[in-house]
Amino acid sequence: MKKLLLILCALLGTVGAWAETYTIFNQAVGTFYDNYGTRASDKLSWTSGSNSGKSGFVISLTGSNVTLDKASNWALVVHSSVDEINYTMTLQAPDGYTITGYDLTAQIWSSSYPNSYTLTAEDETAQTINSTTLKTLSVTGLNTTSTDISIVAAASSSTTQKWLTMKSLTVTMEPTFQAINVTYELYDDGADTPTETQVEQVEKNSDVNIPSSWINYVYYSNISSEGTIGESDCTITVNRTSRTKITDLANLSNGKAYYIRNARGTWAIKNSEMSASATSDLTVNNANKFVLYNTGEEYYLFSVSENKFVKSDKSLSRTPQAITITATEDASYPWWFKFDDSHIFNGGNGFMVVDGWNTLDGGNKNYIVEAADFDESIITSLLSIEGEFATAIEQLRAINFGTGLNQYSFIGDYADYTATASSVINTLESAGASEDNLAIAQDMLAHYALNMPTTGFYRIKGATSNKYLASGLAANNKFNMTTAEDASTIFYYDGTKLVNFGSGMCNGVTTSAWAWVTEDAASEVTFQDGLTNGGYAIKTSGANFYDNGDNSNSADRGGNVTINTSQNTRYRSWYLTEIATLPVSISSVGYATFFCPVAVTIPNGVKAYYISTLSETEATLTEIEGTIPASTAVVLIGSEGSYDFSIASDVDAISGNKLAGTAAAIEYIDGAYTLQTNKDNSSEVGLYPTAVDYLAGFKAYLPATAFSSEAKGFTFRFSDIETVINSISAKQNGTVFDLSGRRVSKPAAGLYIENGKKVAIK
């Protein structure tokens, strides 16, 4: 309650102003104002817009087809697209106050909107607004917490747009509570005279509330108050003690914890890594307290809240990593902190990084002040053999060992340990700390690696966005990222490039461009450990894939970086999921072509064929049953829909297939024929010449080398079909079933069973 009253006092002006007029907004001034002339948008509340939900004076709007907006220079605009409108605007006083009157100045938005508005107050005071001339609705003699203003606009033949601009609003209010004056006096470090004085109006017998601007636990400690608030005006004394600021490293103590702060915030620990906090009130926990532990040779940065050392990737560990502290020659922020040659840098908004920024900047120069006493035995135990051994075991347990993707395997002398990693670690831990066991554990930590993807199909998910990389580009030509699990998010990795299954296009990332390209323009791709416990960095042609999962204007690529020192490690890390089934679509004509570099199982409802022979006008389709061998181009026949082809073990290759195929889109090959409808007979499907820039990926085509003479095209004939019906209307009168055994009343073009015989309707 006390905090609310302080906010209301700030809104309502100077001491003793119990019945005055306050500016809520004024376009001539250019912003929302209180009586002190400071922006007061945090003291207003709206039924819509960016200030929704904030406390204080409220302006709301009721009625259909109308909108209340903040316009440029902080005017209010009400508008509608209907011919005739009637709605109500409500002025609501803050808690503890009543409205006694107001002046609302308005005009038509512009001469292009010649509407006539009538503004009517609850006491029936009215004002007509019918031009761009300013007019004021003035009301006095109120005594209410809420008052309505009706706004009516008659129909207009010249326009259906209604626009009314409210230029200013001043309101007279009185408090409903009994108030007294409280004088707060601030004394620093036992001074005889106050450092600062602040007078506030509060309700009688309120709780003492030290002004928030005086509560800064980075600079000061022991902030306390003396005195109580009673029935009459009073004075509250506030005392605080300045913290010791470190200006000489010799004054650092291993028995002290410290606050470290720069112009952008205070160092902090959040989500088990180094972060930052903009607040100065740090009394809640130890997340902002650090020890700068000095061994006599090196400094270590130690988190009090986590009892761990801070590492150069911002993570926390029981194993120390040396840090250097150097002078900046800036008295206000005298210290730089570095891991090797890389500064700890506060990027703002809680974003702490370690990079090579060496210029004096508000984000990388800091001051140090004492925070609290610290028991340094916590650190010395960690630096002992027992502590180092416990740390090594902890690090081994944190690794996701296994034989699959996003997991790690032991290598070298420890290669056989991967399958039994948990048992090995348990045994080592049970043996206890010793020089030998510590050496074994640390050697194991130096001999493991992330399992790299082999040739196959994958989905690729950003470690930061939790969205999949997809085909196509976002509207701003950045990475397209989505949560969809369809063909657009499946990629084939052939060991050198990524091919999108949905489009057949390959990655073309460089440091200057990102594009989906044909195979001949593809960039070579390699994977490496992204250092996010199972995440991969994807490197290509001088650039790293960059996870901007919100499709924003963030970079989606960047120059190759050393991942373990990059400030953007988490944005350059991806997780892989192996794909077991591939979705393949058959169109309404009942045909599709397909080419896959791995063997796949043919699903129910689909027939697969290769072309065994060619005549001058016909291509003979011979059925493949069960499994399509790897790298075999085929024609698929079935009802319209999407079918899941399961990846299978390879089978013997088929000889004599006239079809060819490609996994990645390639530039058009002269003389190639593709699956089309006959331009002279739209009901006839076959292989015909095509004029395209490239041949689609994961599709089949008939190369010119498959036939010796020029042909207009090839219709299909079937090597195992008893009957070919040239049109749907010519089919016999028997019962017709599809290849799955379902009865079909109106068959389209395709393969069917009729009277026990397999027939093709063309």
Q: What is the pTM of this model?
A: 0.56
Q: What is the CATH number of domain 456-578?
A: 2.80.10.50
- The span from the CA of 194 to the CA of 209, in Å, is 17
Domains 249-380 and 456-578 share a fold: yes
Q: Which residue has the higher pLDDT, 731 or 313?
A: 313
Sorting pLDDT into bands at 50, 70 and 90, what band is 175?
confident
Q: List the strands of the sheet with 234-242, edge to edge.
A: 196-203, 179-188, 234-242, 220-226
Are 317 and 308 within 8 A, CB to CB? yes
Any idea where the domains of the chain sit in the sequence? Answer: 2-175, 179-242, 249-380, 384-450, 456-578, 581-720
Please report, rounded to a whole number, the percentage of residues in the chain having pLDDT higher than 70.
Answer: 81
Q: What is the pLDDT of residues 234-258, one digit of tens each?
A: 999 999 999 899 999 999 999 999 9
Residue 255: beta bridge partners?
A: none
Give, in words, the CATH class of 249-380.
mainly beta
Q: Which residue has the higher pLDDT, 524 or 632?
A: 632
**In terms of C-beta density within 10 A (0-12 exposed, 13-18 middle, 19 or more buried), how is residue 683 classed?**
middle
> What's the average model confidence in pLDDT over 320-335?
91
Residue type, 557: R
- The contacts of residue 349 (CB under 8 Å, 6+ apart) are none
Q: What is the pLDDT of residue 20?
A: 67
Rg (C-alpha) for the chain, rounded Å, is: 38
Please report, rounded to a whole number, the percentage of residues in the chain having pLDDT higher than 90.
Answer: 40
Instruction: Give the DSSP H/E element, type plus range, for residue 439.
Output: helix 435-445
Q: Where are the beta strands (DSSP E) in 360-446?
A: 365-373, 408-410
Sorting pLDDT into bands at 50, 70 and 90, what band is 369?
very high
What the block records as the tokens of 659 is 């079809």
Least confident residue range of 93-97, 113-117, 242-246, 736-740: 736-740
Are 129 and 162 within 8 A, CB to CB? no
Are 125 and 82 within 8 A, CB to CB? no
Q: List the strands of the sheet with 627-628, edge to edge.
A: 581-586, 641-647, 600-601, 627-628
Q: In the 8-state DSSP scheme, what is residue 83?
A: S
Q: What is the pLDDT of residues 699-716, one digit of tens each?
A: 999 988 888 767 788 888
Residue 139: beta bridge partners?
A: 102
Which of 94-108, 275-289, 462-476, 746-760 ranks highest by mean pLDDT? 94-108
Which of 88-97, 265-274, 322-331, 747-756 ranks highest by mean pLDDT? 322-331
**In terms of C-beta density within 10 A (0-12 exposed, 13-18 middle, 19 or more buried), how is residue 491 classed?**
buried
Q: Which residue has the higher pLDDT, 725 or 498?
A: 498
Pairing between strand 757-761 and 723-725?
parallel
Q: What is the largest CA-CA distance in the chain?
A: 112
End-to-end CA distance of the chain: 82
- The span from the CA of 637 to the CA of 622, in Å, is 12
- The span from the CA of 460 to the CA of 455, in Å, is 14
pLDDT at 463 > cutoff 70: yes
The SS3 call for residue 319 is coil
- The span from the CA of 735 to the CA of 285, in Å, is 78
Q: What is the pLDDT of residues 375-387, one digit of tens each?
A: 999 999 888 998 8
Residue 304: beta bridge partners?
A: none
Q: Which residue has the higher pLDDT, 175 or 188?
A: 188
Sorting pLDDT into bands at 50, 70 and 90, what band is 299?
very high
Q: What is the pLDDT of residues 427-440, one digit of tens each?
A: 999 999 998 999 99
Q: What is the pLDDT of residues 390-402, one digit of tens each?
A: 989 999 999 999 9
Q: What is the pLDDT of residue 33?
A: 40
Q: What is the pLDDT of residue 561?
A: 55
Name the average pLDDT for the chain.
81
Q: What is the pLDDT of residue 240?
A: 93
Q: What is the pLDDT of residues 138-151, one digit of tens each?
A: 999 999 989 999 99
CA nearest neighbour of 176 among 140, 145, 146, 208: 145
What the block records as the tokens of 406 is 């996003």
**In terms of C-beta density within 10 A (0-12 exposed, 13-18 middle, 19 or more buried), how is residue 150 classed?**
middle
Sorting pLDDT into bands at 50, 70 and 90, what band is 30?
low
pLDDT at 652 > cutoff 80: yes
> What's the average model confidence in pLDDT over 614-624?
90
pLDDT at 414 > cutoff 80: yes
Are 86 and 118 within 8 A, CB to CB? no
Q: What is the pLDDT of residue 760?
A: 72
**In terms of C-beta density within 10 A (0-12 exposed, 13-18 middle, 19 or more buried), how is residue 97 classed?**
buried
Pairing between strand 179-188 and 234-242?
parallel
Are 692 and 686 within 8 A, CB to CB? no
Pairing between strand 536-540 and 543-545?
antiparallel
**What value, to the nearest 5°, has the Cα angle with vertex 664 and ends 658 and 670?**
50
Q: What is the pLDDT of residues 280-294, one digit of tens each?
A: 555 546 888 999 999
pLDDT at 512 > cutoff 80: no
Q: What is the CATH number of domain 2-175?
A: 2.60.120
pLDDT at 571 > cutoff 50: yes
